């Protein structure tokens, strides 16, 4: 195992940093939408008359809640995808570090499925 493999791994993970920042911004927007959906609409005083909140204000509140839920689902999926990519890169690095079993005088094809669960 050489240092170049480690360098490549950290380079690939570091290349995911902009995507990670984008997901953090998206999560902040989702949090803002969720918070604005929790605020109840308030009436206003127009002159000496009180005007109750309109139906449109309640509809906007429901729209914010819906968009926050959909945005959270998309962010969760993006985080899961990014973690799967990181996991795959880490497994590839671990696979490079594991020595391959070599038995003198035997063909290496015997060991292709070594270490996998074959249901036995």
Helices 3-14/55-97 angle, 10° precision = 170
- Give the position of tokens 């690095």: 93
pLDDT tens per residue, range 28-73 = 999 999 999 888 888 889 999 999 988 999 999 999 999 999 999 9
Percentage of the residues of the chain whose pLDDT score is greater than 70: 80
Whole-model pTM? 0.63
Position of tokens 């309640």? 58
CB atoms within 10 A of CB 34: 16
The pLDDT value recorded for residue 117 is 53
Tokens in use for 43?
Answer: 């009436």
* Residue 100 three-state SS: coil
């Amino acid at each position: 195992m050489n240092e170049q493999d480690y360098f490549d791994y950290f380079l690939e993970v570091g290349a995911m940093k902009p995507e990670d920042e984008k997901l953090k911004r998206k999560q902040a927007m989702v949090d803002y939408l969720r918070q604005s959906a929790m605020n109840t609409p308030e009436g206003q005083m127009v002159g000496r008359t009180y005007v109750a909140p309109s139906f449109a204000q309640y509809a906007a509140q429901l729209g914010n809640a819906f968009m926050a839920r959909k945005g959270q689902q998309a962010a969760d999926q993006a985080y899961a995808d990014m973690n799967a990519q990181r996991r795959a890169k880490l497994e590839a690095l671990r696979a490079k570090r594991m020595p391959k079993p070599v038995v003198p005088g035997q063909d290496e094809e015997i060991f292709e499925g070594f270490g996998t669960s074959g249901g036995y």
